[in-house]
Amino acid sequence: MFDIGRAPFLKWPGGKRWLVPEIKQRIGKIEGTYYEPFLGGAAVFFGLAPERAVLSDVNRELIELYETMRDSPNVLHERLSVHHARHTKRYYYQTRAARPSDAIDRAARMLYLNRTCFNGIWRVNRRGEFNVPIGTKTNVVFEGESFSEIARALKGAALRVQDFEQTIKIAGDGDVIYADPPYTVAHNDNGFIKYNDEIFRWADQIRLRDALRAAVERGANVLVSNANHKSIRKLYRGFGKVAAVPRYSVIAGASERRAPTSELLISARL
Ligand SMILES: C[S@@+](CC[C@H](N)C(=O)[O-])C[C@H]1O[C@@H](n2cnc3c(N)ncnc32)[C@H](O)[C@@H]1O
């Protein structure tokens, strides 16, 4: 049977499917509204399957894809099947260069590229153009995957393209916020890989901590994941409980060698 919690339909850098059991255990039953301001591949949202949610990200194309999935799952599936049938190297690059004007075509394109590109990631250049080369996977339509089930899970969700602060500021008493920002650390002093600096700066990490602190003061329950780095521990000192969760992951560029790492889960009122 199709299990939505085990099958996020997008691959996303920093995807948290592996952390869902830990997160579920901490969050428990959600009484209010669930807020996820850094939605990405939505692994945690699908894992928790809350009834009411506000989901957001700054990536417009991504949010539009979720809207299309929620509102037109069958047409989206049909259009994805066309990509599946036509997939070749030439077709991939043609599709990558295309800029569909129709929202469903844009969503189908994004999903097709996400499933066939190198490493299954979504990366755009400074002009906002997707620029990942073709990968080895050729499967675009997954057997047993149900777009109607995914649409049903999204029915109670408000989707927004906006900065995290706009989303966090509306959460109040009894609501739950799960924040998974891009990881940046204050100093690259222990071999920790610093990335995404132009998009998410250290100043944004501080802005996030402050927005979350204000939400906790309004009565919201907050869970944040971040790099297990001393600058992050210092940033969240006095905020709530801090736990390091171990993970075996692939280090980029290190010839697929697997090494143990860990990430932080910081919670307040949970
Ligand atoms: C680490 S990913 C989230 C991954 C997600 N938890 C998952 O399981 O796939 C971080 C996301 O934050 C988004 N983002 C970056 N800057 C943002 C901002 N200022 N406000 C809201 N979202 C932002 C990125 O587009 C990206 O999708």
Q: Which of 148, 175, 197 is the last residue of a domain?
A: 148
Same-domain status, 173 and 262: yes
- Among candidate residues 212, 232, 140, 139, the one with its CA nearest the CA of residue 171: 212
Strands 258-268 and 241-250: antiparallel
Q: CA quadruple 96, 99, 102, 107: dihedral positive or negative?
A: positive
Looking at the DSSP assignment, which residues form a beta bridge with residue 158? 54
State pLDDT tens for residues 169-179. 999 999 999 99
Mean pLDDT throughout 148-161? 96
Residue 15 Cα to ligand 1 midpoint, Å, equals 10
Whether 115 and 183 share a structural domain: no
Q: DSSP label at 195? A: -
The number of distinct structural domains making up the chain is 2
Range with the poorest average pLDDT among 46-60, 71-85, 188-202 = 188-202
Residue closest by Cα to atom 7 of ligand 1: 15
Angle 73-86/103-116 helices, nearest 10 degrees?
50
- Give the residue-averaged pLDDT of 149-168: 97
pLDDT above 70 as % of the chain: 89
pLDDT at 234 over 50: yes
Question: For position 256, which CATH number holds?
Answer: 3.40.50.150
Same domain, 76 and 47: no
Q: What's the mean pLDDT in 86-99?
A: 97
User: 182 CB less than 6 Å from ligand 1?
Assistant: yes
Residue 228 is encoded by which pair of tokens?
A: 């297990």
Does residue 163's CB lie within 6 angstroms of at least one atom of ligand 1?
Answer: yes
More confidently predicted of 199 and 39: 39
Mutate to test the pocket of ligand 1, among 45, 57, 210, 224 (most ligand atoms within 8 A of CB): 57
Q: Would you state the pLDDT for residue 196?
A: 46
Whose CA is closest to atom 18 on ligand 1? 163
Asked if residue 155 is part of any domain, the answer here is: no
Name the percent of the chain lying above pLDDT 90.
Answer: 75
31: CB partners within 8 A, 6+ apart: 174
Res 183: pLDDT: 85
Residues 88-92: what's their mean pLDDT?
Answer: 97
Average pLDDT over residues 11-32: 93
Residue 9 counted as domain residue: yes
User: Is 193 part of any domain?
Assistant: yes
* CA 40/CA 222 separation, integer angstroms: 18
**Domain extent at residue 134:** 66-148
57 within ligand 1 shell (Cβ under 6 A):
yes
| Distance in Å, CA 182 to ligand 1 centroid | 6
CATH of the domain at 96: 1.10.1020.10
Instruction: Determine if ligand 1 sits within 6 Å of the CB of residue 14.
Output: yes
Residue with tokens 């194309």: 61
Which pLDDT score is estimated for 74?
A: 97
Pairing of strands 241-250, 221-227: unpaired
**pLDDT at residue 254, rounded to an integer:** 52
Q: Tell me if 215 is assigned to some domain.
A: yes
Of all atoms in ligand 1, which is nearest to the CA of residue 10?
A: 9
| 20, 38, 199: residue to mutate for ligand 1 pocket, most atoms within 8 A of CB | 38
CA-183 nearest atom, ligand 1: 1
Least confident of 1-15, 70-84, 140-154, 186-200: 186-200
Q: Across all residues in the chain, what is the average pLDDT?
A: 90
- CB-ligand 1 contact for 58 (6 Å cutoff): yes
Mean pLDDT on 107-115: 96
Element (H, E) at 43: helix 43-48
The model's pTM: 0.92
